[in-house]
Amino acid sequence: MTDSNKKSLDRREFLKQSAITTAATVALGSALGSQKLYAGQTAGAKHPKVVIIGIDGMDPRLTERMMQAGQLPNLDKLRGKGGYSRLGTSTPPQSPVAWATFINGAGPGSHGIFDFIHRNPKKQYAPFYSAAETVGGSGYWEVGDHRVQLNFWPFSHKSPETILRRKGTPFWDYLDEAAISSTFYDLPANYPPSPSKHGNHRCLSGMGTPDMLGTYGTYQHFAEDGPARTKNEGGGKRSMVFFENETSKPPLKLIGPADSFLKKSKPTEVEFLVHRDTEARAAVIEIQDQRIVLEEGQWSRWVKIDFELSMPALLPNKNISGICRFFLQEVGPNFRLYITPVNIDPSEPAMVITQPPRFIEQVSDKLGLFYTAGFQEDHKALSNKVFTEDEFAAQADLVLQERLNLLEYAINDFDDGLLFFYFSSTDLQAHMFWWDSEDKHPVRSNDMAKKYFEHFKGVYRKMDDVVGDVIKRYGDSATVIVMSDHGFANFKRQFNLNTWLRNNGYLGPADCKALLGGDVDWSQTRAYGLGINGLYLNLKGRERDGIVSPGPQQEHLIAELIEKLEAVRDEGGTPVIRKVHRSDNIYSGPATALAPDLIVGYYRGYRASWDTCLGNMSETALSDNKSAWSADHCADAAEVPGVIFSNKPIKTAAPTLADIAPSVLTKFGLKVPPSMTGRDIFSTT
């Protein structure tokens, strides 16, 4: 793996849930037991049924080709009855932006999410995760090596708190107020889950929900050819394993959540042993009085792991539960063992990830243990070559099977009102397996690229089966909507916006290499890029070290940047950037304070470089993408629309994500609030 790829993966690790209330704090003062499971609606009241199936990243071009070939018969039936359209996505078409637009029925000016990453202008750059923030607590009791917060009288210390940054009013609040029940499973852009004021709303948080280490997902890998000292890489930890008489020596260590009761917080650790039998091609894992027997190539069940958090001598230690699965990749000659990220235990949640908090326990009582982290398909393990393509495909299939089990539960638990259910497979497998081109793939031969794209199309066929089953169950008794947040495209070439800005005299000095770390001289910098699509002016009065004057100088710079960026050409004169959008032209609403000045929209095949996201600069502005992450959707919105299907005719021309929320409210006879910009897709008026 090249240094460039390693850096890019480390930066993707930044796109983690950095804003997370520690599991230790929740374990000390959990209020789970005091919450209602589900208040429900007024006794005897019945409302229409609306079922929304969110299929992340489902692309209209591929969908239409497969329908034409007879491979998606259930979706094609809906199309034949007038229930299909391409669906306009958000600008930019990034998942947290798009799903927040779906949630509010209005664009980023309403919800205030413009990218995976935002910046603090008063700290000059200072990037942070856009969708949630952890604010520190106040007060503590100091005893020896420990600091303990006591959030009860008379101490009344304030614990750290994770705050959802998405602004505005989610459309389910209007259903909640009208005593119409709604349940959302794995909803993106809603961690921590927003509260239900009237008890008629339930939600299991999806994308954005952390693992027990506070990241988007950190696997752990043990191999005989691993590093002598544990190596942290983007999305994982690798360690070497030694065997003495076919038993791991010394014991291996599973890293858990931070022991944050200590003054100097450090990760918890759980020791475990591996006994292997090379002749039988099998191994036994011993961890906390549990024996897990695995054959080569076999996955374990979910395993509960108890993590102990130390307390001062006069108090008992605290214990919190996490879950993980073990995958015995190889017994020999090179032993390889993969362990999933340590997920929040749904049967004993150490953090609140559902509304109401005990809803997840109710689900777990029926289904047992399951993935709870927001990102479940472990694409990082494939990018880092911990997984082979086949191993990633098998792990992703396990995720999909769990999601199908959850869907069965959701349908059986659904009476009336609104049911939303989300599938991630069409997005995360697309990032790794999509390649609808004869061009050379970044990491695979042409034959292998075609093989795995065919595998991926099988996911679309499974989604078609899901839709067919839902339609068969409900017929005309429910309005069924199937939608995606955006489409997909190959990601062959990458553009480093900050390198281009530096090379064209907008960012200095001429030899700088990174925004972070003092390398950039802000007195020489008029503009900079941050995140995947955002470009910011270094504006006086807004940025800490701003040099661009508001007014004519600002307007001239914006016009110049738009003209030059849209003129960028790749080898052979191929255009790179389809459109540069002025945020003050495309966004309106009360939540625009953190918006970039310009949104860079790429042509299909192009995207911001891995280095661009956190402001690092490569030597050249344009280069090949060399990652297994070979497809993306962070282009111009016009390049990657989503899809929408329904068992009711879609009558609005050119529907968009913002139209779904008002359409749902109208189905339930509710007025569409003025904050929503969308229309009812089932009406011509």
Cα(371)–Cα(367) distance, rounded to whole angstroms? 11
* Interval 492-497 mean pLDDT: 98
* Residue 322 backbone dihedrals phi, psi, to 5 degrees: -130, 170
Buried b (16+ CB within 10 A) or exposed e, 163-195: ebbbbbbbbbbbbbebbbbbbbbbbbbbbbbbe
Q: Which of 41-55, 316-330, 341-355, 592-606 has the lowest mean pLDDT?
A: 41-55
* Interval 631-655 mean pLDDT: 98
Residues 500 and 566: beta-carbon distance below 8 Å: no
Residue with tokens 């996505």: 89
Q: pTM of the predicted model, to two decimals? A: 0.92
Residues 650 and 84: beta-carbon distance below 8 Å: yes
268 HSE (CA, 13 A, CB side):
27
Q: Which of 654, 648, 652, 638 is nearest to 685 (CA)?
A: 652
Buried b (16+ CB within 10 A) or exposed e, 575-614: ebbbbbbebeeebebebbebbbbbbbbbbbbbbbbbbbbb
Q: Structure tokens of 201?
A: 């709303």
Distances (CA, A) of 632 to 95, 116, 519, 530, 532: 11, 14, 30, 18, 11
What integer pLDDT is reported at residue 32 of this predicted model? 32
> Where residue 518 falls among pLDDT bands split at 50, 70, 90?
confident
Domains of the chain (ranges, CATH numbers) = 3-212+350-491+639-667 (3.40.720.10), 219-343 (no CATH), 492-629 (no CATH)
pLDDT of residue 34 exceeding 60, the answer is: no
> Where residue 45 falls among pLDDT bands split at 50, 70, 90?
low
Residues 274 and 283: beta-carbon distance below 8 Å: yes
The proportion of the chain whose per-residue pLDDT surpasses 90, expressed as a percent, equals 83
What integer pLDDT is reported at residue 523 of this predicted model? 96
> Where residue 25 falls among pLDDT bands split at 50, 70, 90?
very low
Buried b (16+ CB within 10 A) or exposed e, 508-547: beeebbebeeeebebebbbbbbbbbbbbbbbbeeebeebe
pLDDT of residue 31 exceeding 60, the answer is: no
**pLDDT tens by residue, 658-678:** 999 999 999 999 999 999 999
Q: Taking all residues of the chain, what is their mean pLDDT, rounded to a whole number?
A: 91
What integer pLDDT is reported at residue 135 of this predicted model? 75
pLDDT of residue 379 exceeding 60, the answer is: yes
* Interval 465-488 mean pLDDT: 97
Q: Which of 641, 537, 521 is nearest to 595 (CA)?
A: 537
What integer pLDDT is reported at residue 253 of this predicted model? 97
What angle is formed at CA 389 by the lines to CA 630 and CA 251, rounded to 5 degrees? 120
